Amino acid sequence: MKHALLNYDLSAALEGLRKKTFSATELTKAYLDQIERTKALNAYITPTPERALADAQRSDQRLANGTARPLEGIPLAVKDNFCTQSILTTAGSTILGNFTPPYESTVTQKLWDAGAILLGKTNMDEFGMGSTTDNATYGKTGNPWDKDCTAGGSSGGSAAAVACGAALGSVGSDTGGSVRQPAAFCGIVGVRPTYGRCSRWGLIAYASSLDQAGTLTRTVADGALMLNLISGHDPRDSTSARQDVPDFTAVCGTSVKGRRVGIPKEWFEEKQDPVILKQWQDGRRCLEEAGCEITFVSLPHISVALPVYYLLVCAEASSNLARYDGVKYGLRAPSPNLMDMYEKTRSQGFSNEVKRRILIGTYVLSQGYYDCYYTKAQTVRRLVIEEFNTIFKEVDILLTPTSPIPAFKWDQAPKDPVTMYWNDILTVPINIGGVCAASVPFGQSSQGMPLGLQIIAPAFQEERLFQFGHILEKGASFPPLPFLSQ
Amino acid sequence: MINTTELDAIAHLARLYLTDAEKQAFAKDLQEIFTWIDQLPDEQITPPPAPLCPSVMRPDEVTEGNIPEAILSNAPASTYQMFSVPPILG
């Protein structure tokens, strides 16, 4: 039997802690027990139970003496690509298998400053490169709805931890869908705010023009609460935006009557899985019943956003990952000379998918190919951005499925990279286009696996994600997460 | 199309050592990927693409310096508060 305290979602747990219905230590112990009970899913790379209990005691003191902070006593999980001071941070890679950061990422520091408790660091695709969390070094993360299926990725450990009750919420990162897709696969809410909304200081770089932190929670309101606390300009990240941070929780439950919702016809006209198509239509109907006006819109370049993404992401990754050379931190392969050491270290420390992307990136940035690949991709990226800007003069949000497929069994994973990359088609245009998006649980596959609907909003209009997300959440009739009925 | 000789050159630029079997496998993967990528349309825009974010300037001042122990704490090898490496010519 699971612990009864796991029934509380984040917002309800905060209330319970403040009313002293239970203590932060009791709540944290319930989550640490659940981490043990769900160990077979392999959501965590490094659990941190001792730190969690010590932090919980401090939270209890604050709750007792009236100095509780906004997330006081809330146990959370963190994707293993956020640097956490003095705690192993691997980014899912062998090359960082012994890396203990001497500093803390801004996003996690904001959580600890708000009183949250770290339960541990979660599994992921190496450096965020993948969408299955099938990690060559740290193992596969199973889906809490069916352990033989993928949890999605690359924030699969963070999504699985929330969906199996082994964390009240978690932070992930989303370069091309890595928060939204695992959230959809695991039946939880995943929010990918606008690039610049959250600081990237201490988030291990994969593709710097696309990486952004995001939240994974059981409910839309919980996501709003967490995003409130991790957003904001950071002088340490020159790409973080000087934008006011509204209270994202304030819009949950407000009316969307008369608002305009766009359906990208280029995607709608593509051959979609009938189950996904029905889910999409049900989502449209839900918003129509809430008083929204639904229209089909055209984004002509959206279908080529995927190859643009893979060109840019590989180019940026090849540059960012040049730092792993065996000199300053991480793995070093024994070798008689420097060049040999570089090559052996990187060959032993990176998995095949990372090597593949480094090779693609090096190729497209090399002399003679730069213009025909990298410049071309930047050109089409600009067109995608302009199309989003134009379309958001006509509609308030766009509605799409989060993924063209539900979570699949491990043995049904695509074997060739192009087919695997194709599964990101609905999420990557958001990162390319500089807008924001969220995935909300809505519908199930014929095998009972969860599906997600994606809400896309203009840059720095995350309030719309929560406002419309709340409506979809209420209209979804989505079943409880499996652990809640155990 | 990328052949194994071209892949050798790229791998060297990327400082990756690849076995013959890896070279063949990656050459095949990259061929498939670039066949797919080549569907990208030729588009012209004015002005040409530029960085999406303007450069942000800050004063050239040390803010968190003088922490050599912390910086070297993860170094595979260090001597006299410096990173140490194998011989460059060896």
Inter-chain touch B53–A196, beta carbons under 8 Å? yes
Inter-chain touch B86–A337, beta carbons under 8 Å? yes
Q: Which class for A3: exposed (0-12), middle (13-18), buried (19 or more C-beta within 10 A)? A: middle
State the residue for tokens 């825009």.
B45
Interface of B with A in 10-49 (CB under 8 A): 10-11, 13-18, 22, 25-26, 29-30, 32-33, 36-37, 39-45, 48-49
pLDDT range class, residue B46, cuts 50, 70, 90:
confident
| Res A233 pLDDT > 80 | yes
Task: Report which DSSP code applies to A374.
Answer: I
For A54-58, A248-252, A437-441, B86-90, which range has the lowest pLDDT when averaged over its residues?
Answer: B86-90
Model pTM score: 0.97
3-state secondary structure of A171: strand
Q: Is-contact A93 A211, C-beta < 8 A?
A: no
Angstroms from A380 CA to nearest CA on chain B:
7
CB hemisphere CA count around A430 (13 angstroms): 38
pLDDT range class, residue B90, cuts 50, 70, 90:
low
> Measured between alpha carbons, how far is A483 from A481 in angstroms, rounded to an integer?
6
Inter-chain touch B76–A326, beta carbons under 8 Å? yes
3-state secondary structure of A187: coil
Inter-chain touch A100–B73, beta carbons under 8 Å? yes
Residue A210's pLDDT is what? Answer: 97
| Res A366 pLDDT > 70 | yes
Inter-chain touch B87–A338, beta carbons under 8 Å? yes
Contacts of B39 in chain A (CB under 8 A): 304, 307
Spatial CA neighbour of A383 closest among A266, A437, A309, A305: A305
Which residue in chain B has the smallest CA separation from A303?
A: B40
Q: Taken in order A106, A109, A113, A115, is the CA torsion positive or negative?
A: positive
Task: Report which DSSP code applies to A331.
Answer: -
Closest CB to A347 among B16, B70, B83: B16
Closest CB to B32 among A327, A339, A418: A418
Spatial CA neighbour of A199 closest among A173, A222, A163, A162: A173
3-state secondary structure of A38: coil
Q: What is the DSSP string of A57-94?
A: HHHHHHHHHT---TTTT-EEEEETTB-BTTB---TT-G
The pLDDT mean for chain B works out to 88
> Measured between alpha carbons, how far is A436 from A194 in angstroms, rounded to an integer?
5
Spatial CA neighbour of A403 closest among A231, A245, A181, A252: A181
Give the active site residue among A29, A79, A110, A140: A79
- Test the A interface: residue of B18, B46, B85 with most A CBs within 10 Å: B85
| Res A288 pLDDT > 80 | yes
| Res A269 pLDDT > 80 | no
ipTM exceeding 0.85?
A: yes
> Measured between alpha carbons, how far is A326 from A346 in angstroms, rounded to an integer?
8
Q: Note the pLDDT tens digit of each residue in A159-202.
A: 999 999 999 999 999 999 999 999 999 999 999 999 999 999 99
Q: Taken in order A86, A89, A94, A99, is the CA torsion positive or negative?
A: negative
Q: Can A178 be counted among the known catalytic residues?
A: yes
At residue A144's C-alpha, the angle toward residues A141 and A148, to 5°, is: 60
Paired residues of B25 in beta bridges: none
Closest CB to B49 among A331, A379, A418: A379
Q: Which tokens sit at A288?
A: 């129509």
Stretch A72-94: mean pLDDT: 98
Q: Can A79 be counted among the known catalytic residues?
A: yes
Inter-chain touch B85–A103, beta carbons under 8 Å? no
Residue A143's pLDDT is what? Answer: 98
Q: Beta strand pairing status for A260-264 and A293-297?
A: parallel
B4 touches chain A (CB under 8 A): no
Inter-chain touch A375–B18, beta carbons under 8 Å? no
Altogether, the residues listed in chain B come to a count of 90
Q: Which tokens sit at B3?
A: 């052949």
User: Percent of chain A, pLDDT > 90?
Assistant: 94
> Measured between alpha carbons, how far is A424 from A441 in angstroms, rounded to an integer?
17
Interface of A with B in 315-374 (CB under 8 A): 318, 322, 325-332, 335-344, 346-347, 350, 352, 355-356, 358-360, 362-363, 366, 373
Q: Which residues contact A267 (CB under 8 A, 6 or more apart)?
A: A302, A303, A400, A425, A426
Paired residues of B18 in beta bridges: none
Q: Which tokens sit at A331?
A: 């793995």
How many other C-beta atoms can be found within 10 angstroms of the C-beta atom of residue A370? 13
Residue A5's pLDDT is what? Answer: 98
Spatial CA neighbour of A144 closest among A40, A27, A44, A8: A40
